[in-house]
A and B are shown apart, each in its own frame.
Chain A
Amino acid sequence: MISVSLENVSKTYGDNPPTITMDLTIESGEFFTLLGPSGCGKSTMLRMIAGFIQPSSGIIRFGDSDVTRTPPNRRDTGMVFQNYALFPHMSVAQNVAYGLNVRKVDKKEKAARIDNALAQVGLAGYAGRRIDELSGGQQQRVALARAVVISPSVLLLDEPLSNLDAKLREETRVQIRQVQRAAGITGIYVTHDQAEAMAMSDRIAVLEGGRVHQVAAPREIYHRPATAFVARFIGRSNVLPVTVLGSDATTVTVDLPGGSRMDVPKAPDLRPSAGDPAALSIRPEVLRFTDGPSPLLRGTVRAAEFTGASVTYEVSMEDLTVNVTAPDHANGPQIGDSVGMTCDPDRVWLVQR
């Protein structure tokens, strides 16, 4: 088990400004996710950790040792590739054995470790199969077994579930966590699927345009997004443009679109002053319809989307649209109705615009 730190790592292509800059530490033993839309630099980051891409500047450390210039074959990481990258000319067992052969593990121990690894991913009895005889999910598990059988110091996973169907994805992500915990390996996971990241990770780094927006536990990221981008990217959120009217130690008073005022919790590192533009993140399930005389927001229902347990309404205000998720019941608002909305101030979050 080992920690991984990226100290001011950046990657520059040509004379352009750095496309990626990053400074973060992944704690030993944790399951850490790099989350972001495609093109955000998450895969590049993972490939830098694996040693396939050289950073333009900065230092990558595994524990205390600087591995920035260490070739990939001497970094002792186990990587699961997006397309699995299984050797098509080898059997399942030969694939899993590859890293052990390189490490000159003796025959007896090798056989035991292969059996154990295959059993762990539920593929005992598949040792002699050819790779093209396996389904996508099985191939993915062989790739996982091949990566963990060498007991690497770090397990790297590059969108390993993106080629699987939804049901298999959920089963496999549980399995990945089990295997990672059992082996006690630091796990670094790359994905663009925020639900997957939330379900699996100890901590998540949200990336966009090569920049880290926030590094925090899933719950924190969901409820207290650091930026408007994080608020929008994680789950669904209404991000309303607001103006700061004033603040004290724990709350900020803001002016909502439509003219209402609201006191919202203040993030410790936020130092707003009156007149600053800011953004208010309100989750759709936090907003609720009200018949009260002075609602926080007013609008007209434009659409209603029935999803089973709940209904998500699209409500248009002057020049923006908000979503409201409410439990489904018979006398809910109809399309075209004018509605008032309110919410619990403790469940909203003020972010920089």
Chain B
Amino acid sequence: MTVLDAKTTTSQKKPPSASAPRRRRTGTLSEKIGSDRFVYLLAAPVFVIILFFVVIPMAQTALFSTQGNGLASNYGTFFSGSSASALLLSVGISMASVVLCGILGTLLAVLLTRFEFPGRKALEVFALLPMALPPLIGAVSFVLLYSETGIVPRALHLWLGIPAASTSVTGIAGVLLVHTFTMYPFFYLSVSAGLAGLDSSLESAAANLGAGKIRIWATVLLPMLTPALVSGALLTFMISMASFTAPQLYNVQTLTMQIVSTRTSGAHELAAAQSTILSIVSILFLVSMRWYQGRRIHRSLSKGTQRDRAVSTGPVRYVAMIGSTVVSAVLLAPVLVIILVSFSIDSSWTTQVIPDQYTLQNYIRIFTDPRSLLPINVSVQMSLLATLAAALIGAAAAWIVARWKLGGKTVLDIAIMLPWALPGTVIGVNMVTAFNEPSPTNLGLTLVGTLWILPVAYFVRYVPLIFRSTGASLDQIDPSLEEAARNLGATPLRVLRTVTVPLIAKGILAGALLAFVDGVGEYVASVVIYPAGYVPMSVEIYNRIYSAEFGSAAAYGSLQIILILIVLIISNTLQRGRRTTKPRTTKSAALAAAPLS
């Protein structure tokens, strides 16, 4: 039998002599930290990195907004000039987007989880397609489909003689169209997760007590779904506020557009002020979302059970069949149009409904012409670099937050989630402001004009993604597993290596894969920061669209879509490979993976 003698074992960093007099002391701090010192040791470097790349750059932008003509002048210009109306426009568009996405997403969720009709299975798959669209390509596909020169108005003109101008969707309506069809999954996913988590016996109980269908919805189902609706709404609002690609393509002067055009015109201080205002709005939403989710109200006490779907019969069946075919077609159209156009010859598509000349040249050129291959290389390599760093830091941060027992946990949590709430445009501005020239706050690190600014910005944008997916896996590990390993004699580092990391590896990998594809498709921050000579893929797509080279632009886009689809399939397989399969985790992982436009 092993004789236990704490004084002779010396593997701990502090020499026993130094710690001996402290033994009798009853400090609350050491009491709370207890055996978890390691968590706090690791927290220091992680926190410094987050501080250096996330928090300080944001503070730098805020500080910079007080320079030039001074704080009063910059913000005075903001609230009296076009920026104020841009802010109002952004808020208005975001609120409208919430309503439209709420209606579409909730309807789809209810239809798909509660009813059985022909074409339901296909619609269920297509409902998630918007997730496979990179932000820029998503917006581009809607322009190709519904703008005045788009396929649908031209087809209507050709077949029915309606002038294209009267059926085309442009301006604010165009932005709302893109938002509705790319952001409804936030509602769709959270509401269908909410419905799946509902205990069907609640409905039976209400019916048993004499409630009719409408009353059950009003008094039981909707109150139970409120958390799902509210988090869907907050998420949609935040992402609409951050939206840049749709306003850019439809030339709508939202606040994000204003920031970029103000910067381009050289009024850097005003742009900083605009960024700061937008940051504040986004952070308010992040904090209110955390607060709301923290309340955890109206949770079913029992496990959710799948309720039988109501089967449609008679004429309803045919209406449902036609309806689901139309909706499927609408959802599928953006992806199909990108793939179709990718085979068209550049500049050959002028007034026809769809392109009439096709070729494989666009793809061949991408892989044979070094100049065309460069954007792919830039995006893939920079995204890979950023993903590796984000996986390391994001996973470590998730573990630290999960095991943190002292106060201030929320601060750390919010600091890491911050870039998730910040619009890409703002992150771009923050990077440019903080790493423009050597200064004490950036420790002499200058990134502007170098290739390095891309991976740093991607790292900042995607750290929260890995942080969340790792956090979700950590939540599924019982803390007693780590305690059991400690109890069997393993040091904290060994516990991490042999128990914790193997158990969360899939979560880290899933998050990292999504971060990688999002990085490859990143446009919003890239367009603000990319260095001359190194054009990222999405910026190249925009440039080609701008010069009407739709074919090759769509070819890049198709490659992005294929990459995203591959990754979605891999991460789904990863989730399913888990021994305890919970449908909820797949949905929440998909939610976390939502591309930020």
Q: Which residues of A contact B (CB under 8 A)?
A: 1-2, 50-57, 59, 62-63, 65-79, 81-83, 85-89, 98-99, 102-103, 132, 146-147, 150-153, 156, 184-185
- Residues of chain B within 8 A of A70, CB atoms compared: 4, 6
Chain A's nearest CB lies how many Å from the CB of B79? 46
Q: Is the CB of A99 within 8 A of B26?
A: no
Q: Is the CB of A85 within 8 A of B480?
A: yes
For the complex, give the distance between the alpha carbons of A40 and B483 in Å.
22
Using CB atoms, name the residue of chain A closest to B477. Answer: A88
Contact of B478 among A55, A59, A85 (CB under 8 A): A85
Q: Which of A77, A87, A146 has the most CB of B within 10 A?
A: A87
Instruction: Mark B207-231 against chain A: 1 for CB-CB distance below 8 A, else 0.
Output: 0000000000000000000000000
Q: A1-B1, A2-B4, A65-B7 are in contact. Are A103 and B489 (CB under 8 A)?
A: yes
Q: Is the CB of A67 within 8 A of B484?
A: no
B166 CB within 8 Å of chain A: no
Chain A's nearest CB lies how many Å from the CB of B550? 49
Contact of B487 among A69, A78, A88 (CB under 8 A): A78
Q: Is the CB of B31 within 8 A of A68?
A: no
- A52-B35, A73-B35 given; name 12 further pairs at CB < 8 Å: A51-B35, A51-B486, A56-B28, A63-B4, A72-B35, A72-B487, A83-B478, A98-B488, A99-B488, A102-B488, A150-B488, A153-B3
Contact of A73 among B24, B28, B491, B502 (CB under 8 A): B491
Q: Which residues of B contact A (CB under 8 A)?
A: 1-7, 9, 12, 19, 22-24, 26, 28, 30-32, 34-35, 478, 480-481, 483-492, 494, 498-499, 502-503, 579
For the complex, give the distance between the alpha carbons of A78 and B28 in Å.
27
For the complex, give the distance between the alpha carbons of A69 and B540 in Å.
60
- Residues of chain B within 8 A of A152, CB atoms compared: 2
Q: Is the CB of A54 within 8 A of B34?
A: yes
The interface residues of chain A, by DSSP majority, are classed as loop
Interchain Cβ contacts under 8 Å between A and B, 11 examples: A51-B34, A51-B35, A73-B486, A73-B491, A74-B4, A74-B6, A74-B9, A85-B481, A87-B485, A89-B502, A151-B1
Which 8 A/B pairs are nearest by Cβ-Cβ distance? Answer: A99-B488, A85-B484, A85-B480, A70-B6, A102-B489, A54-B31, A72-B486, A76-B4
Using CB atoms, name the residue of chain B closest to A71. Answer: B35
- The number of A-B residue pairs with CB atoms under 8 Å apart is 121
Q: Is the CB of A66 within 8 A of B23?
A: yes
- Residues of chain A within 8 A of B502, CB atoms compared: 89
Q: A99-B488, A102-B489 are in contact. Are A52 and B5 (CB under 8 A)?
A: no
Contact of B486 among A66, A71, A86, A87 (CB under 8 A): A71
Q: Is the CB of B35 within 8 A of A56?
A: no
- Residues of chain A within 8 A of B491, CB atoms compared: 73
Q: Is the CB of A66 within 8 A of B6?
A: yes
For the complex, give the distance between the alpha carbons of A70 and B546 in Å.
67
Q: A74-B6, A83-B478, A85-B484 are in contact. Are A69 and B499 (CB under 8 A)?
A: no
For the complex, give the distance between the alpha carbons of A233 and B272 in Å.
69
For the complex, give the distance between the alpha carbons of A53 and B3 in Å.
22
Using CB atoms, name the residue of chain A closest to B579. Answer: A132
Chain B's nearest CB lies how many Å from the CB of A327? 44
- Residues of chain B within 8 A of A55, CB atoms compared: 31
- Residues of chain B within 8 A of A78, CB atoms compared: 487-488
Chain A's nearest CB lies how many Å from the CB of B290? 25
Q: Is the CB of B23 within 8 A of A52?
A: no
Q: Which of A65, A72, A78 has the most CB of B within 10 A?
A: A72
Q: A54-B30, A88-B503 are in contact. Are A79 and B4 (CB under 8 A)?
A: no
